[in-house]
Homo-oligomer: A and B are copies of this chain.
Amino acid sequence: MRNILTTIRYDGRSYHGWQVQENADSVQARFQEALYRVIGEQPDIKGCSRTDAGVHANMYCVSFRTEHTIPADRLPLALNRFLPRSIAAVSAADVPEDFHARYSCRGKEYIYKILNSPVRDPFLDGYALHYWQRLDHNKMNEAAAHFLGCHDFTSFCTSDPHRKKGDFHRTVKNISVTRSGELVTVTIEADGFLYNMVRIIVGTLLYVSQGRIQPAEIPGIIDSLDRKKAGPTAPPEGLYLNRVFY
């Protein structure tokens, strides 16, 4: 039995996230349909993570098992014939039998895009948070550095009855806030992410820029293990799963 890892890219505006669900369109459902058209099978498909409605992916990884003999390097173009224009298969490769898109993942990088301008941009509608007030990206960066390392991120997690309670420790390996003209980008790499963790960190960094939270208060907010101490959950449209590490 082959085990194939496929990398895709998608515009999340039209989807209620990756995961198949009733009464809502999902990236997984569209991928399964396209895969069935190509290999004539409906294997169990493993995605590297859940993503929320409206969240995008520059890189998202999917693994599945099949007996089909299509060469892996031909699979992306074959899938692209049947995928909607908002989803593109980018690459595919045979991987070891025990590989699993989610459980084999060693880390991920998310980016969050903010259009920091008094005027909105039609080309970034749904692709970046539009934020009018001038952002102090240096102060946000100073605050962001406190997230580095291994912490219990309970304060930066939306409780979700559908998710198993588990260990809330995660290790943030890189985090930065950069500005290029009117575009401010928050980049976070970690070994794993809790539900809404990036969006709550971004919402907290926006509070830092507003002066409602000081950079030096971040360690205390982390230690409090209290979601109410952190900032709000930033909207989904600025969020992109950017890289997945195995």
Binding site for B on A (CB under 8 A): 9-11, 56, 76-77, 80, 85-90, 118-123, 125, 127
Contact = CB atoms under 8 A, between A and B. Distances in A.
A232 to B, nearest CB: 22
**Taking chain A's interface residues, is the majority helix, strand, or loop, or is none over half, making it mixed?**
mixed
A77 B130 CA distance: 14
Nearest to A13: B122
Contact of A9 (B10, B80, B88, B122): B122
Contacts of A11: 122-123, 125
A88 B122 contact: yes
User: Assembly of this chain: how many copies?
Assistant: 2
10 contacts: A10-B122, A11-B122, A11-B125, A56-B123, A76-B119, A80-B119, A85-B125, A86-B122, A88-B119, A89-B119
A86 B80 CA distance: 27
A77 B132 CA distance: 11
Nearest to A240: B123
Given A11-B123, A88-B119, 11 more contacts: A9-B122, A11-B122, A11-B125, A76-B119, A77-B118, A85-B122, A86-B122, A86-B125, A88-B122, A89-B119, A90-B119
A125 to B, nearest CB: 5
A77 B90 CA distance: 40
A88 B124 CA distance: 11
Contacts of A125: 11, 85-86
A69 to B, nearest CB: 22
Query: Which residue among A10, A122, A127 has the maximum number of chain B CB atoms within 10 Å of its CB?
Result: A122
Contacts of A122: 9-11, 85-88
A120 B86 contact: no
A206 to B, nearest CB: 21
